[in-house]
Chain A
């Protein structure tokens, strides 16, 4: 199941295979895995990485917020503003609850993110093809013939910092 979802995320599935993966996503554990992968992906790309303890702090501050008793609007013209305030509060509550749900429910996701953050170097090269393949390919490319060994930089820099297969 997990491999199918991973491949779906990579855009590697078509037709019946993709349909099967979509069915997996309708199941709770499938959806959780999908969410988890995206959180990991975001963390690896360093966008929107969750902040430790954010959910607790957010919940505390939300708790401490005074209840806003909006005065009854005198002029109907003021109505849009009141609606805007209400909408904002509603939006904050929705976002907050989604955030709390996302961050509190599957602790595995967060643990995995923290692990992933610490092992960036190991997960990223996994996505790379072995430089052996790039080297084998390079000599056949007509552009290599006019560029000399320059394009071999693709192969030598491909192994990341360790040059491992």
Chain B
């Protein structure tokens, strides 16, 4: 580099030297690398798991607002979390003993998602890490107050139209995520989670994170998805996987009363897209396209099978996958 600078130091070559310096300076601007994005995600994930906090969270999607109270406790390495909505019919999400339980008191129903994946993080595969930098520009954005905290915003901007943009506002002190927003190509918000108030490092006891109802109240129905059988592959595949997405799971699981459902998951390091394949059966199905917050859903019939594809990606991406499911 020194040699280059010396050679360029002739009077007639001053412009070239300047140009070179400018280029060198430009390159020195911290354009976040794969390690940066991955390290950043790991840091925020670790904070979300380790900190104790309580606050009010507003979930905004499709012109709707839902307010909930969130309590998180890490007790000697074990995670406990409780989310209770504050409007409409009561809903409660509890994370404890490595499973997630959703309570629907009006329907007398509990949905249980056993053995969650969470503890496996941070474990992005090298391919996922590569996809993060190849398909997103990760950069530091503005500082600003959210929920009374001076946050630092970070943006994952997609480089193609096959994924949404993501913006995260983080408390630099604790590393906790205070606000998260998904936006489309027109920079329109698709979905947003934001604390309106939060107490970090709060004193929280087990009582505050235990479910309002018993584990299984008498007369309630419990729907347990699983057990998952990831030991054998499903024999299904996606022939036109959108660039950057790699398969991270392939196995059977039990959903509703549908029996065995093949479940494949593809991820680009930031979001995931699930593919469910099951026999059509006699029940009527909501074929077509729908959206639930930041998740787009495509359901279609393929021969005698029902294909359900969903994930935090634009409809075109979900459709491409839904239309290229095939037997291996």
A residues apposed to B, CB below 8 Å? 3, 6-7, 9-12, 14, 126-159, 161-165
Main SS class of interface, B: strand
A165 → chain B closest CB, angstroms:
6
Q: Is the CB of A146 within 8 A of B44?
A: yes
Q: Is the CB of A154 within 8 A of B295?
A: yes
Interface string of B38-75 (1 = CB under 8 A from A): 00010011001000000001010100001010101000
Q: In the complex, A142 Cα to B225 Cα: how many Å?
A: 20
Interface string of B184-207 (1 = CB under 8 A from A): 000000000100000000000000
Q: Is the CB of B286 within 8 A of A127?
A: yes
Main SS class of interface, A: helix
Can you pick out 23 interface pairs between chain A and chain B where the beta carbons lie within 8 Å of each other?
A9-B288, A10-B288, A11-B315, A133-B274, A133-B308, A134-B310, A136-B113, A137-B265, A139-B117, A140-B265, A142-B269, A143-B180, A146-B44, A147-B177, A148-B70, A149-B100, A152-B83, A153-B93, A154-B293, A155-B102, A156-B85, A156-B91, A156-B104
Quick one: which of A9, A143, A161 contacts B312, CB cutoff 8 A? Answer: A143
> Which residue of chain B lies nearest to A9 when distances are taken between CB atoms in the complex?
B288
19 additional A-B pairs beyond A129-B297, A139-B100, A163-B107, beta carbons within 8 Å, are: A6-B288, A12-B287, A14-B323, A126-B284, A133-B255, A134-B292, A135-B100, A136-B255, A136-B276, A142-B121, A142-B124, A142-B272, A146-B168, A149-B95, A150-B70, A150-B193, A153-B85, A154-B292, A158-B292
Residues from chain B with Cβ under 8 Å of A141 in the complex: 267, 271-272, 311-312
B294 within 8 A of partner (CB): yes
Known interface pairs A136-B274, A139-B118; A161-B269 also in contact (CB < 8 Å): no
A125 → chain B closest CB, angstroms:
9
Q: Is the CB of B310 within 8 A of A133?
A: yes
Quick one: which of A128, A153, A162 contacts B290, CB cutoff 8 A? Answer: A128
Residues from chain B with Cβ under 8 Å of A159 in the complex: 104, 107
Q: In the complex, A148 Cα to B94 Cα: how many Å?
A: 11
Q: In the complex, A130 Cα to B111 Cα: how many Å?
A: 11
Q: Is the CB of B88 within 8 A of A161?
A: yes
Q: How large is the interface on B (under 10, 10 to 19, 20 to 34, 35 or more residues)?
A: 35 or more
B256 within 8 A of partner (CB): yes
Residues from chain B with Cβ under 8 Å of A156 in the complex: 85, 91, 93, 102, 104
Q: Is the CB of B177 within 8 A of A146?
A: yes
Quick one: which of A129, A142, A145, A163 contacts B48, CB cutoff 8 A? Answer: A145
Residues from chain A with Cβ under 8 Å of B312 in the complex: 141, 143
B314 → chain A closest CB, angstroms:
13
Q: In the complex, A14 Cα to B302 Cα: how many Å?
A: 13
B306 → chain A closest CB, angstroms:
11
B4 → chain A closest CB, angstroms:
41
Residues from chain B with Cβ under 8 Å of A129 in the complex: 286, 290, 292, 297, 299, 308, 310
B223 within 8 A of partner (CB): yes
Residues from chain B with Cβ under 8 Å of A6 in the complex: 287-288
B215 within 8 A of partner (CB): no
> Which residue of chain B lies nearest to A151 when distances are taken between CB atoms in the complex?
B193
Q: Is the CB of B100 within 8 A of A148?
A: no
B81 within 8 A of partner (CB): yes
Residues from chain A with Cβ under 8 Å of B100 in the complex: 135, 138-139, 149, 152
Interface string of B3-40 (1 = CB under 8 A from A): 00000000000000000000000000000000000000
Quick one: which of A136, A146, A150, A155 contacts B263, CB cutoff 8 A? Answer: A136
